[in-house]
Amino acid sequence: MASIHERLKNEPYSEYSFATRPTNATLFWRRCIIKQIYLFFALNLKIMRIVVGGHS
Amino acid sequence: MASIHERLKNEPYSEYSFATRPTNATLFWRRCIIKQIYLFFALNLKIMRIVVGGHS
Amino acid sequence: MSKVVVLGAGISGHTAALYLKKGLGKNHEVIVVSPNSNYQWVPSNIWVGVGLMEPNQVKFKLEPVYRRKGIVFKQALAKAIRPEGDSTSEKGFVEIEYVDEARRGQTEKVDYDFLVNATGPTLNFKATPGLGPDLYSNSVCTYDHAWHAWQNLKVAFEKMEAGVHQTFLIGTGHAMATCQGAAFEYALNIAFEVNKRGLHKFADIIWISNEYELGDFGMGGAYVKRGGYVTPTKVFTESILAEYGIRWIKRAGVYKVEPGKAYYELLDGTYHEQTFDFSMLIPGFAGAQIKAFNKKGEDITSTVFAANGMMKVDADYTPKPYEQWKSSDWPEIYQSPAYDNLYASGIAFAPPHGMSKPMESPNGTKIFPTPPRTGMPSGVIGKVVAQNVIHRIKTGRKDHPHKASMVRMGAACIVSAGYGFTKGQAATMTVSPIVPDWEKYPKYGRDIDKTVGVIGLAGHWMKLFMHYMFLYKAKAKFGWSLIPE
Amino acid sequence: MSKVVVLGAGISGHTAALYLKKGLGKNHEVIVVSPNSNYQWVPSNIWVGVGLMEPNQVKFKLEPVYRRKGIVFKQALAKAIRPEGDSTSEKGFVEIEYVDEARRGQTEKVDYDFLVNATGPTLNFKATPGLGPDLYSNSVCTYDHAWHAWQNLKVAFEKMEAGVHQTFLIGTGHAMATCQGAAFEYALNIAFEVNKRGLHKFADIIWISNEYELGDFGMGGAYVKRGGYVTPTKVFTESILAEYGIRWIKRAGVYKVEPGKAYYELLDGTYHEQTFDFSMLIPGFAGAQIKAFNKKGEDITSTVFAANGMMKVDADYTPKPYEQWKSSDWPEIYQSPAYDNLYASGIAFAPPHGMSKPMESPNGTKIFPTPPRTGMPSGVIGKVVAQNVIHRIKTGRKDHPHKASMVRMGAACIVSAGYGFTKGQAATMTVSPIVPDWEKYPKYGRDIDKTVGVIGLAGHWMKLFMHYMFLYKAKAKFGWSLIPE
């Protein structure tokens, strides 16, 4: 996914040069199976609570 | 430092409503003496390296 | 015996019908009127649109499910509501016209004790000249459209493989379109497929949106916690686009599409063009354009429906400026103020106003997203309407113990790109409540502790999991009612 | 015996002089010419400007230090350089005019073997009508100005304590001013003091800047790692302002100040006014306006100096568009191309171009920051120039073994708000190199692994530590040369 960077190189001050981008560590954790399995359950639980809590 | 929030309340879509703001946890760590003492030395070292490394 | 008629078999109507039948049992009649013989799990159309799923994987025939459950299904279009009946009938009824092969063109009067209008949106391609899969742009709003889009997308991929540069324009096709989330997801999926094939050097992917800032999503934007900071969805969204190599045009109202070219006006009043090789532009949404008549046969459409064809419910429709919008403007029980046995569920109800701040260009063009009401809230509203109708039928009382205001409801949004156990990645976002409430939450408009903004494999698994889970639920298989909306 | 003359005793000149004397010893002469009898640690003027330090804490008398070290000090203003000497002298010399009480108005010709021009900026208040502490705005550029600003700020605080609302306007007072960092720090310190006194309800603090986006700081912005994301300083800076309750106006070129009112043009060409009760606006910087003459007495100022009065050195001054800027445009040894025994150090050297992208309003007004060269790089450049001069004197060779290009140098910037061991907080940022190099670092223009972007107590301690450490070093006390620049 290097295309944006190739273009950014020639376009500082463009609107998307001011976007934040994930660090390599962040990219690693997004693909780390262990952490993601934990997140899968944690997020499901959290979403369930948020959604079920909102109506009666 | 609540003033911005009082104003923000009435000004969604203002330019500074799109600013990121520190979470309470972040604010805590910024004031945590232990972590900051560590940072003091770590940052000094890092800055020294960056600055000294740049000229000859 | 009471008779409940549900118009529409989308997420909201189908959910309502299943709960109604479950709650009312064999002694009462539940009738579903829908022109489409299939149920479709709309969120998965994105995957159809990039060739990762076949239409068959996101849809199933409604009739067998309804037969099994004892729900009457009429594959027909609702043309008019006569809530007071007519000269020959005291009871309210709906005029329908069949669209299935056997009875095409036949009309029928379906009387009811309670009517749930869950007709969903009319895809208003006509509001933008040149827009739509029949003309010069693609759509992923239905599985047909999505499949058609994939056929065109494939051609673009083939061209890139032959070294021909392609420009992809994805976003909103009308100055007041909503459903940015789906279009956004489609843009990411195209970027993922482009990168997967190693074709990024030949692709220019452009996100075009009527949002004031990216990440507005018709919800007035939101804040999520990320990396120790409360981050506006603007920053979150721009980050995702930058990561996937997608450029963007914001504050844009597309007003015309020609072959290979979209015309748009920016909020600053300037006019521009953008050429493309492939485009997917979401149309404006309108209500189902059902007419309403009183007992004398006089047209009371404007009493029952708002101007856009969506049905008026227990909301405060007094026009007021953005600064005066209140959480109490929003409906709780989705009951018509004109007829107390008439309900609107899902996209069919008219919201009191948007969630995004109305913006107007110097030329007077309104450029901002109308409020989305897809997925989760539509399902919940369908269920709550069903519960209240069941309560009224069973007790004979007129109160509504069940409430589902979008000012209290939370929602999750999973924007997935890529596919597969280790390749997929999705941004999972939650907001609670859906409609910002600046009185209750003066800092961020919503409960910041109930927000999530996470990107990773887990979100993709959840999206896949929901695909199978919600299709299972919609098929009303064993234990379906235990699965939350 | 060689004679080295240093013009200016700021961070760069003072550093150069100390190293020159240390390296050359008693057999060579080092002369410092500066109109100010004091050394000042400029970064701490911010603390003077909010009443947390007295001027005495940020300055000290230069003469005793120079006497102790054997450096000749002349409290005088350099008026002209005659690098070729004149009819009576073969040797280059400087014409100076004394400003100390004893010899005020006396002139002298100071000849030299090597000349280091480290005259620093002329605060060009006149470029903006009404600007400056003598007229309608405050400044913190010198300890005098800062002390004066604090007297006015105190009045504003007293008014707020009496319930009178006050508007504070802090930022750049010229369309091409630089030194945003100092002004930014001052704005944060005012916000901190306002909050400390519980007066935030009465204060409206506004940051006004000529930057295209906040966080540009005249360096073309930068990226720092924060919370798992590579974050542009725009996001970082906006976050800090929002946290401190400061509004902002960006892309603004202030062109006139009246009592209580600033006039500015935005990059979009529109004109606006902003009223204020207290303002601190950084002026444009110019060079020291020294003339130069050749042996015949002909004016060669434009050969030696650039139009803004800064001295031309070994940089590529060919005018070129932003897209063609290269790291090799920047000087390495700060030697005049016209005269090989002439050097410029710190702000005195003319940069080849800015670091921020030049921007022009539709009215033709250039609105963007010129490049900053304060603090750390000024000290380093002063040292490197000294080392090269020492090398040349000691070996008689013409080469320059020491180099200090801003394209390779890193720098740290600590923006501190508040004061005290547990109350202070500072944003510490590092960039390496100072000048972005898009060829070497195509992704972010700089080495992203050498960036830091941290907010907390530690940064404040570092700032305090640096205050004491650098004043200690500047006083040339025991072991001073071991302290890095």
Number of residues assigned to chain A = 56
Find the domain containing A41 and state its range.
23-56
Q: Name which of B20, D200, D155 is nearest C233 in CA terms.
A: B20
Q: Is C344 left (phi over 0), alpha (psi -120 to 50) or beta?
A: beta
Q: Name which of D354, D333, D357, D419 is nearest D114 in CA terms.
A: D333
Which residues have C-beta within 8 Å of that of residue C354, sequence separation ≥ 6? C218, C220, C368, C369, C370, C371
A39: part of which helix (H) or strand (E)?
helix A33-52
CB C283 within 8 A of CB C139: yes
Q: How far is CA C395 from CA A55, C202, C337, C390, in A?
A: 21, 65, 21, 8
The number of folded domains in chain A is: 1
- Cα(C135)–Cα(C256) distance, integer angstroms: 11
C454 touching chain D per CB within 8 A: no
Q: Cβ contact (<8 Å) for A12 and D438?
A: yes
C135 touching chain A per CB within 8 A: no
Instruction: Tell me the β-bridge partners of D163.
Output: none
- Both structure tokens of C133: 């899969």
B9 occurs within a structural domain: no
Find the domain containing D312 and state its range.
3-123+286-395
Which residues have C-beta within 8 Å of that of residue D340, sequence separation ≥ 6? D398
Phi and psi at residue D355, to the nearest 5°: -110, -30
Instruction: Assign B8 a pLDDT band (cuts: 50, 70, 90).
Output: very low
Mean pLDDT of D324-330: 93
The number of folded domains in chain D is: 1
Domain with residue D385: its CATH number is 3.50.50.100
D238 touching chain B per CB within 8 A: yes
Local structure of C8: helix, strand or coil:
coil
Residue of D nearest to A5 (CA): D443
A53 occurs within a structural domain: yes
- Cα(D365)–Cα(D176) distance, integer angstroms: 10
B6 occurs within a structural domain: no
pLDDT score at C12: 95
List the chains bordering chain C where 3 or more Cβ pairs fall under 8 Å: A, B, D
Strands C3-7, C252-258: pairing kind: unpaired
Instruction: State pLDDT tens for residues C153-167.
Output: 999 999 999 999 999
Q: How far is CA A25 from CA C196, C365, D225, D230, in A?
A: 22, 45, 11, 11
- Both structure tokens of D454: 């941290």
List the chains bordering chain B where 3 or more Cβ pairs fall under 8 Å: C, D
Cα–chain center distance at D27:
33
Instruction: Assign A5 a pLDDT band (cuts: 50, 70, 90).
Output: very low
CB D412 within 8 A of CB D421: no
C444 touching chain D per CB within 8 A: no
D432 occurs within a structural domain: no
- Both structure tokens of D371: 């490049």
- Cα(D424)–Cα(D420) distance, integer angstroms: 5
Q: What is the mean pLDDT of chain A?
A: 79
Q: How far is D256 from chain C (nearest CA, A)?
A: 28
B32 occurs within a structural domain: yes
D348 occurs within a structural domain: yes
Report the C-alpha dihedral over residues D386, D390, D392, D396, rounded to 10 degrees: 170
C181 occurs within a structural domain: no
Instruction: Assign D48 a pLDDT band (cuts: 50, 70, 90).
Output: very high
Instruction: Please determine, for residue B2, whether its predicted confidence score (pLDDT) is greater than 70.
Output: no
Instruction: State pLDDT tens for residues C57-107.
Output: 999 999 999 999 999 999 999 999 999 999 998 999 999 999 999 999 999
Instruction: State pLDDT tens for residues D404-428.
Output: 999 998 888 899 888 888 888 999 9
Q: Cβ contact (<8 Å) for C238 and A20?
A: yes
C456 touching chain D per CB within 8 A: no
pLDDT score at C167: 96
What DSSP state is assigned to residue C410? -
A29 occurs within a structural domain: yes
Residue of C nearest to B17 (CA): C232
B-D interface: how many C-beta pairs under 8 angstroms? 119
Residue of A nearest to C407 (CA): A54
> How much is the ipTM here?
0.89
Instruction: State pLDDT tens for residues D267-305.
Output: 999 999 999 999 999 999 998 889 999 999 999 999 999
C271: part of which helix (H) or strand (E)?
strand C271-275
- Both structure tokens of D481: 């040369």
- Cα(C278)–Cα(C320) distance, integer angstroms: 40
D346 occurs within a structural domain: yes
Which residues have C-beta within 8 Å of that of residue D66, sequence separation ≥ 6? D17, D32, D72, D73
Q: Cβ contact (<8 Å) for D380 and B55?
A: yes
A55 occurs within a structural domain: yes
Instruction: Please determine, for residue A43, whether its predicted confidence score (pLDDT) is greater than 70.
Output: yes
- Cα(C59)–Cα(D231) distance, integer angstroms: 42
